[in-house]
Amino acid sequence: MNTTIVAQLQRQFQDYIISLYQQGFLDNQFSELRKLQDEGTPDFVSEVVSLFFDDCAKLINNMSKSLERPENVDFKQVDSGVHQLKGSSSSVGARMVKNVCISFKECCDVQNREGCLRCLQQVDYEYKMLKTKLQDLFKLEQQILQAGGTIPQVDIN
Amino acid sequence: MQRDSFSVSIENLPDSPMGSNKKMNKVFDKMTQWVTPWRSNSESPRERMILRGDVEQDEFQYASSHCLSSYYSVFVVRLAIMVMLAILIGLLTILTWHFTRIYTKQSLQTLAYGLRYELLQRPILRMWSVLNTTSELTTAQVKLSEYVIRKYDKPTTQEELVEMYQAMKDVTWTLFASAKALNAITINYRNGFVQAFHRDTTTSSTFYIFSDLKNYSISGTGPKDVNGWNNQTIHGNMSAIWYQQQLDPVTGAMLGKPRRIPPDDLISIAGISQVPDGEASWHVTVSKYMDSPLLSAALPVFDASNKSIVAVVGVTTALYSVGQLMRDLVEVHGGHIYLTSQEGYLLATSTNGPLLRNTSKGPKLMKATDSEEWAIKTGAQWLQKTYGNNLPHVVHAENARLGDQQYYIDSFYLNLKRLPIIGVVIIPRKFIMGKVDERAFKTLVILISASVCIFFIGCVCILILTNGVSKEMKLRAELIRQLDARRRAEASSNYKSQFLANMSHELRTPMAAVIGLLDILISDDCLSNEQYATVTQIRKCSTALLRLLNNILDLSKVESGKLVLEEAEFDLGRELEGLVDMFSVQCINHNVETVLDLSDDMPALVRGDSARLVQIFANLISNSIKFTTTGHIILRGWCENMNPLHDEMSLNVDRKKPLAPMKTKLVQHRNHFQKSCKNANKMVLWFEVDDTGCGIDPSKWDSVFESFEQADPSTTRTHGGTGLGLCIVRNLVNKMGGEIKVVQKNGLGTLMRLYLILSIPDTVEQNLQPDFSKYGLVVLLSMYGSTARRITSKWLRKHGIATVEASDWNELTQIIRDLLETGSRDNSFDSQHNIADSLRAELSTIQEIENPVFVIMVDIGVLDLTTDIWKEQLNYLDRFSGKAKFAWLLKHDTSNTVKTELRRKGHVMMVNKPLYKAKMIQILEAVIKNRKRGLCNGIRNRGNGSDESHDCLEIDPTHYDTCSSDDSSETSGEKEGDKPVKSSTLLSPVLKNYLIDTTNRNDDSTSASMTRKNTEEEDWKDRNNRLYSGIALDGKNPKSLEGIRILLAEDTPVLQRVATIMLEKMGATVTAVGDGQQAVDLLNFRSINAQDSTQEQKSSEEETNVNPQSSSRYSSPYDLILMDCQMPKMDGYEATKAIRRAEIGTGLHVPIVALTAHAMSSDEAKCLEVGMDAYLTKPIDRKLMVSTILSLTKPSTLVTSYSA
């Protein structure tokens, strides 16, 4: 009984994580992160991810403040924010966020405020999206662990 | 476009008739064409443009609207200039007209006025003089009469009276005769007696007229009072009888008898009535004898008492002479003159017309208005009409219109007492102003036509001028458009290149991953054969794809100008040797000889970008290999100093000729070059890649260097390739200040020649060639490949080493026997007939060398390896091993049994093919060393071969440590540790010593800088090696970074966390800080406190030039720093600079690895510039990071960790 639930949950987990990869929310770096998680650091992934989301919230807040006024936008500041965001998102493997960051950076380079605002909104949307998805994932993980199962290794490659 | 709409609108006009419509249309077309001349030209480019895309169309429209406005402005300017010109010319014309005409007119009018005045003045003066004369004569007559009458005062008798009359007659005659102009003189006495002299001008006879004396008493019967004395008494005195006596005009003698005449025929005789108040009186009379009016003056003659008038003297003068004068004047000047009395009666005219009119009562004076002369009549009528009866005294009318002609009419008033006279001059205007008017008209016409001409010429000039301007504007607009288009094109091309360059990381990483994963898969044992084949195939394809990607990215990087050439010292010869070694593996498979022929004067160390240099030759050689199925590939290199004399000397004769065209360019280049960097120690290095392949058609020699260009399109099918290789080569060569081209070659194949300009580090001593000649070495070269053999022997001979060549086993044995079997020497000479004479001579010279050291180089291919005969052959050769040193040339695929057999026999000198200078030198040096040792220690123990092999191995690292730019020695230990695994797992056939070392070096050079890419083979090996090491570290030893202390400076918490965990998992001790400032602070603080650390710190960089053994050192608290580039407060660059500054003098060099999200080589350059040692891109690739960290930290720790 228990094992079937675990197996079901595991399959569900696998499907879910694969769908995340396939939909392009995550990339290889995320699996790298997952590989780093072991007994020594059991909550490494969720820790890093929550760090990332905090970082995201902070950066997006900063950037939206910078972009608030229509004139005298400090693009340098925005640019550094985007740069950081890009670095951290690529490290976490948040592919969507990273991709938006790339176009965001282009907008920043040409000092296109409209584009920047659009990208900012997109980034905001993407990271929140990812956040809910990952929260679901972690919830699943918790369920599996509670059911006494192990987290299956999902190799996306 | 616009024109069309115009014409359409015109055609749509409903009311305009068709013909005129068309005409108008045409005119309009012409006008618009004239206004916008570009249109006529722009038709064809527009069509052409349309063929291109929308972008050009837009551009064109944009440009054309721009053009249009500029042309309209040109048109407006043109118009304005023309209007101004017209105004100017008009003004000029008017002014000229005004001045010429008005001034002429005025001056002429002044003149005309003078003339007219003169004209009038003269007849009036004449008149005046006539009057004067008349008056004087009258006065004289009066005085004389008074005198005579007083003398005969109160005549009492008839006789006395007659006497008095006679005296009067005589006196009067005298006067009359003296004054010829007089018409008549009359004396009318109180008693009624009349004496008169009269001249008839028509008959030119003179008469004396007198009345009959009988009727007159002395006292006078006539009325006494003056009032009764009137004319009527004279004429009415019918009783009086008048006589006329003709006189001789000169003498006054009487001619004939007096004739009685009727009173009708009498001339007018002045009576008392004419002097009513005793004053002189004037009046105009007429006479029937004369057709002109007469001027008569009358004066009374008073008696002695002066109280009563005794007689009246009348003098009559004809005005004929005035008329004559007028005629004369008019004859000269033209026009008409007439004189009238105040009443308007004509006195004199300039015409011959009658002045009197005949009435029934005799001739009467005529009014001017009634004159028969038309001009006078109309003139008088005009005057009357204009001024009425009260005519002003002076009239100057300039434009009196009489009939259809213009006249000048001037009148003057001569105020004579009792006889005021008015003179009128009528002159036709054309007489005076006619010429002027005519001229004026002509002048006007000429002026107008001239100004019109000038206007048109001006317009044409303006048109031409503005046409020039508009043409220039057109060209300028064109130019601007072109520039704009070019800018856009460049921008888009730049975007493309930039995009590609930016994508480099994103493109290469997945490919690397794919290949790496495939390698894992291949090394996996549980694959079925079919799967294995498929995976291998995928592996090949991936490699090909990666190579293609690398090519494209390299090209784009070069094109976008992002390629930054490194400036580092490297051993050129060694790089090329490694390259040739690598390719020889492929070539031997192809049965192609690979030969490296570098001249001795090539500098050992040069500064430049070694990876790019290797890439150039790798591309060229792989290209040659592709097209060469048999023969050889030679890589030649020689050097040319900047001194032109020197290079002439150093060049071979056969190289000179095809070099000529390139050399001229080089000379130009050099001139420029010498100026710019005279003191920089630059050198021109020449290279040739010579193959015996299919060759390139001469017409394609230039185009092969273009992108995607292959000499023969069909080669793509047979040989594959994209045609990017040579393009990259050319770009790189150009970037290094050189040039490449295909040159003419004798025989089959292609000869690519290029030169590079590289600087030589002036501190390093160049190229010390060992001197072998004194050792008495004799080398027997026994090699298959003739080209390599020839080149090697040539080089050996050049260095004074006796060399004998042998191409196969038989020849080898013969020569060995000749040289070494001293006992049977004589026999052998006889028996070996087939030895060539030259060889024989050579052998004999060798035999004369004292105490020779024989070195026999044997190609393993000379032995017969197909059967077991090679063992026999080996045994045969072994007999001579005491007398000679054997060096073996092995192939990469030589089997282990052969090698072990050779080693067993004590042959320790084994090198892989191909043989080149450096290997030869090593062999010779080993031989010499061996011999010295042999001389010292006596005969060497044969079984101790492994020691010798170590000797031999040691040659490489010691040799290269001093001069190599790579850190090969550090990792060699690690690699050697891997050796057993490697040789079993790797497909790449790596043998022992030399080649291993070379590949390791290449591996490290690429791992240190990620952007370096070489050809497939090298790449493959790199991948294998790296991957292998990665696997080894990951899989078998996860704690590969055990004991390494790492300082991580990273501001992003996510990255910081990830990197920390990643590193900690691998056993490293990580300290994380949030920005550069903290990192610097931490480092400074810790380095002060941690001086007593026992761990030895080894600097891995050559750049610092710190000798590891000799420098006093403090230990650093960290083995390595991972530095993010963009951080708040202090960024990575600044932090690195600060750290490096702090390190000065301490001898420390903490390796700093940059972490950046930028994947460009320019960023890399920046990182390296500020003193960082390596460069990692985000996201962090674990394997790459590990290998980088390991390569930078001390290898000895690793070795110990492995052994432990």
Instruction: Provide the pLDDT confidence category of residue B520 given band limits of 50, 70 and 90.
Output: confident
Which of A58, A77, A88, A106 is the best residue to mutate to test the B interface, defined by the most B CB atoms within 10 Å of its own CB? A88
pLDDT on residue B589: 67
**Does the structure show a pLDDT above 50 at B898?**
yes
Provide the percentage of residues in chain B whose pLDDT is more than 70.
66
pLDDT at B271: 66
Q: Is B779 helix (H, G, I), strand (E, B) or coil?
A: strand
Say whether pLDDT at B662 is over 60: no
pLDDT, residue B926, reads 80
Please report which residue ranges of B334-428 form alpha helices under DSSP H: 374-387
Residue of A58, A84, A110 to mutate when probing chain B, most B C-beta within 10 A:
A84
Judged by CB atoms closer than 8 Å, whether chains meet at A88 and B1054 is answered as yes
pLDDT in tens, A73-88: 788 888 888 888 888 8
Binary contact (B1126, A80; C-beta < 8 A):
yes
3-state secondary structure of A88: helix
The residue type found at B583 is F
Average pLDDT rounded to a whole number, residues B955-969:
35
- Contacts of A114-118 with CB under 8 Å at 24 or more apart are A116/A63, A116/A67, A116/A73, A116/A75, A116/A78, A117/A67
Which of the listed ranges B558-572, B660-674, B726-740 does the model predict with the highest average pLDDT?
Answer: B726-740
B1062 CB neighbours in chain A (<8 A) are 36
**Residue among B1061, B1124, B1179 whose CB faces A44 most closely:** B1061
Residue B1144 has pLDDT above 70, yes or no: yes
State how far the Cα of A98 lies from the Cα of A130, in Å rounded to an integer. 12
Rounded Cα distance between B617 and B571, Å, is: 15
Q: Which pLDDT belongs to residue B229?
A: 44
What pLDDT band is residue B493 in, cutting at 50, 70 and 90? Answer: confident
For B106, half-sphere exposure in the C-beta direction (CA atoms, 13 angstrom radius) is 5
pLDDT at B994: 39
pLDDT (0 to 100) of residue B1013: 38
Yes or no: say if B108 and B127 are a contact pair by the CB < 8 Å rule: no
Q: Which of B505, B1058, B1125 to mutate to test the interface with A (most CBs of A within 10 A)?
A: B1058
Q: Is the pLDDT of residue B686 over 80?
A: yes
**For residue B1057, what is the nearest residue in chain A, using CA coordinates?**
A48
pLDDT of residue B245: 79
Cβ-defined contact of A91 to B1061 (cutoff 8 Å): no
Chain B residues within an 8 Å CB radius of A80: 1126
A34: which 2 tokens? 């997952």
The residue assigned the tokens 């056939």 is B989
Cα B973 from Cα B997, distance rounded (Å)? 10
* Burial of B65: CB neighbours in 10 Å, binned 0-12, 13-18, 19+: exposed
Q: How far apart are CA B173 and CA B190, in angstroms?
A: 20
Q: What is the pLDDT of residues B450-477, one digit of tens each?
A: 889 988 998 898 888 878 877 888 898 8
Using CB atoms, which residue from A32, A52, A87 is nearest to B1178? A87
Q: Please tell me the predicted confidence (pLDDT) of residue B480.
A: 92
State yes or no: pLDDT of B708 exceeds 50: yes
For residue B766, pLDDT beyond 70: no
**pLDDT higher for B215 or B511?**
B511
C-alpha–C-alpha distance, residues A98 and B445, integer Å: 89
**Residue whose C-alpha is closest to residue B128's, from B426, B413, B425, B424:** B413
pLDDT band, very low/low/confident/very high, at B484 (cuts 50, 70, 90): very high
pLDDT of residue B855: 82
Q: Do A36 and B1054 count as a contact with CB atoms less than 8 A apart?
A: no
Answer with the residue of higher pLDDT: B271 or B577: B577
Tens digit of each residue's pLDDT (9 = 90 or more) over B569-611: 888 888 888 888 878 777 766 778 888 888 877 777 888 888 8
pLDDT category at B417 given cuts 50, 70, 90 is low
Yes or no: say if B834 and B807 are a contact pair by the CB < 8 Å rule.
Answer: no
ipTM for the predicted complex:
0.78
B522 versus B4: the higher-pLDDT residue is B522
Interface test with B, best of A28, A91, A108, A156 (most B CBs within 10 A): A91
> Which tokens go with B769?
């060639």
State which amino acid sits at residue A140.
L
Average pLDDT over every residue of B859-866: 77
**Rounded-to-integer distance, Cα B778 and Cα B847, Å:** 10
Window from B484-488, B542-546, B849-853 with minimum mean pLDDT? B849-853
B539 SS3 class = helix
User: Residue A4 pLDDT more than 70?
Assistant: yes
End-to-end, the C-alpha distance of chain B in Å comes to 88
CA closest to A157 among chain B residues:
B517
Question: Under an 8 Å CB criterion, which residues of A touch B?
Answer: 28-29, 32-33, 36, 38, 41, 44, 47-48, 51-52, 54-55, 80, 83-84, 86-88, 90-93, 157
Q: Does B1038 touch chain A (CB under 8 A)?
A: no
Q: Would you call B233 an interface residue with chain A, using a CB distance cutoff of 8 Å? A: no
B481 to chain A nearest CA, in Å? Answer: 24
Is residue B685 very low, low, confident or very high in pLDDT (cuts 50, 70, 90)?
confident
Q: CA distances (Å), B1115 to each of A41, B986, B1086, in order? A: 32, 39, 10
Which residue of chain B has the CA closest to A38? B1065
Per-residue pLDDT, averaged over A64-72, amounts to 79
Chain A: closest CA distance from residue B1090 (Å): 30
Q: Provide the 3-class DSSP secondary structure of residue B781.
A: strand
The size of the A-B interface in CB pairs under 8 A is: 57
- % of chain A beyond a pLDDT of 70: 96
- For residue B610, the model assigns a pLDDT of 81
Q: Could you give the CA distance from residue B653 to residue B598 in angstroms, rounded to a whole number? A: 17
Mean pLDDT lowest among B440-444, B774-778, B951-955, B1060-1064 = B951-955
| B1058 interface with A at CB cutoff 8 Å | yes
With beta carbons under 8 A apart, name residues in chain A contacting B1074.
none
B205-211/B1120-1124 β-pairing: unpaired
How many angstroms separate the CA of residue A68 from the nearest CA in chain B? 22
CA distance A71 to chain B (A): 24
* pLDDT at position B1176 over 60: yes
pTM of the model: 0.39
* Residue type, position B298, single letter: A
Determine the pLDDT at residue A155: 62
Q: Give the pLDDT score at B171.
A: 83
Residue B764 has pLDDT above 60, yes or no: no
- pLDDT, one tens digit per residue, over B1-31 is 444 444 444 344 444 444 445 555 555 555 5
User: What mean pLDDT, rounded, does chain B reach?
Assistant: 70
Is the CB of residue B1051 less than 8 Å away from at least one CB of chain A? yes
B1061·A51 Cβ contact <8 A: no
Torsions phi, psi of B395, nearest 5?
-130, 130
pLDDT grade for B974, boundaries at 50, 70 and 90: very low
* Torsion B373-B375-B378-B380 (CA) sign: negative
Q: Are B1063 and B1039 in contact (CB under 8 A)?
A: no
